[in-house]
Amino acid sequence: MPDNEPSTAALPLVAIVTPVYNGGEYLAETMESVQQQTWPNIVHVVLDNNSTDETAAIIERFKGGRTPLLVFRNETTVPAMENWNLALDKVPSDATYIRMLCADDTYYPTSTEEMVKLAQTDPEIGVVGCLHYCDGGVADFRWPQSQTVFDGDEALRRILLAEGILMPVQMMMRKSVVDRRRPLYQPPLPGGYDMDAMLQLLTMSKFGFVHKSLGFTRVHEQSTTNTKFGAATRSYTRDCLHFLTTVGQKAFGPDYHKQLMSFRRYYVRRILTWRLKGSSNADLSLHFEALRNAGWTWGPALLIDAIADWLLFKLGIRQRWSGYPGWQ
């Protein structure tokens, strides 16, 4: 190593964390992508959620590779959110950064290196995202090309208004920020807890974005990405109400109430449309509950207000909600 280059031990340690359950179909590809990372100071933490397929054998094959493994196994299978939190608990205390890697996704070789280099430019960066290949292509995530670092408030506002898209995969987090929210993944969102966690971290830190495609996110019939956002319940819309009520004040400041009311009217119209298209009461029940929890009861008053808002939008008097989750 040249004299002017730091030793590997002097470089920030990145813990790549993979919780896995019966991941035999894609796990080898995922683990190989970690072994190929160009950032030299990495450890791969793998937690097997008591798999019954060939997962354990695949993990065994990667022991002794260029990237060291820390391998753990649950004695019983636990729910996914609990498994992700348990996996985070296995991260070495001296790690500077954490990356969560789903057991069916991959990182491109320079992925971690590029993210660390950006994060090292500002100690207040707590979350780093990037472009990535997903569902047939590399989407435009709408973050301004001229900017790579965003204050947390600005990032939250852009995300909620769909002016900057955040998918809570292919991310890197600063461990000192993660340690301020434990457990990282929390109720009440059974499917959106990963997005909720990223938004909460942005209430405490800045956001960095690498304008390059640095990984591959797999979408298949059983993938979390597909099942979460393709379900008949359309829970991502309910999740948005939760995001607005928990981080909206920080994102919008004095404009918060206006944005919240705009989303509520959009939400009520969406529920009405889903009902007219045949959605069952069971599918819609979580939305009625979300409105109640926010202090609103489904009924004529909400419907009249939402329809009046639509008419004002058509007349050009009022702007309709066009943010998250409208880009879904």
User: 229, 246, 263: which is the final residue of a domain?
Assistant: 229
Query: Is residue 66 located within the same domain as residue 153?
Result: yes
Q: Which residues pair with 69 in a beta bridge?
A: 44
Query: Is residue 244 located within the same domain as residue 112?
Result: no
User: 229, 257, 283: which is the final residue of a domain?
Assistant: 229
Q: Domain for residue 25, yes or no?
A: yes
Q: Domain for residue 323, yes or no?
A: no
Query: Is residue 155 located within the same domain as residue 76?
Result: yes
Query: Is residue 168 located within the same domain as residue 106?
Result: yes
The residue assigned the tokens 């991941």 is 23
Query: Is residue 116 located within the same domain as residue 77?
Result: yes
Quote the mean pLDDT of the chain.
93
Query: Is residue 256 located within the same domain as residue 221?
Result: no
Query: Is residue 163 located within the same domain as residue 295?
Result: no
Which candidate, 35, 34, 179, places its Cα nearest to that of 94? 179
Query: Is residue 218 located within the same domain as residue 238?
Result: no
Q: Domain for residue 327, yes or no?
A: no
Q: Domain for residue 324, yes or no?
A: no
Work out the number of other CB atoms within 10 angstroms of the CB of residue 178: 22
Spatial distance between the Cα atoms of 154 and 90, rounded to a whole number of angstroms: 32
CATH number of the domain at 31, please: 3.90.550.10
Tens of pLDDT, residue by residue over 1-42, are: 455 556 677 899 999 999 999 999 999 999 999 999 999 999
Amino acid at 270: R
pTM above 0.85, yes or no: yes
Which candidate, 12, 7, 69, places its Cα nearest to that of 43? 69
Locate 154 and state its tokens.
């600005």
Q: Domain for residue 138, yes or no?
A: yes
Query: Is residue 19 located within the same domain as residue 153?
Result: yes
Range of the domain at 244: 231-314
Rounded to an integer, the average pLDDT of 101-120 is 98
Contact 264, 310 (CB under 8 A): no
Query: Before 183, cis peptide (omega within 30)?
Result: yes
Tens of pLDDT, residue by residue over 283-304, are: 899 999 999 999 999 999 999 9
Q: How many domains does the chain have?
A: 2
Q: Which residues pair with 206 in a beta bridge?
A: 125
Query: Is residue 242 located within the same domain as residue 117?
Result: no
User: 195, 229, 263: which is the final residue of a domain?
Assistant: 229
Q: Domain for residue 84, yes or no?
A: yes
Confidence of residue 226 (pLDDT cuts 50, 70, 90): very low
- Position with higher pLDDT, 320 vs 116: 116
CA distances from 156 to 179, 194, 201, 256, 262 (A): 20, 15, 10, 12, 17
Query: Is residue 182 located within the same domain as residue 74?
Result: yes
Tens of pLDDT, residue by residue over 143-188, are: 999 999 999 999 999 999 999 999 999 999 999 999 999 999 999 9
Q: Domain for residue 328, yes or no?
A: no
Residue 220 has pLDDT above 70, yes or no: no
Q: Domain for residue 310, yes or no?
A: yes
Query: Is residue 308 located within the same domain as residue 166?
Result: no
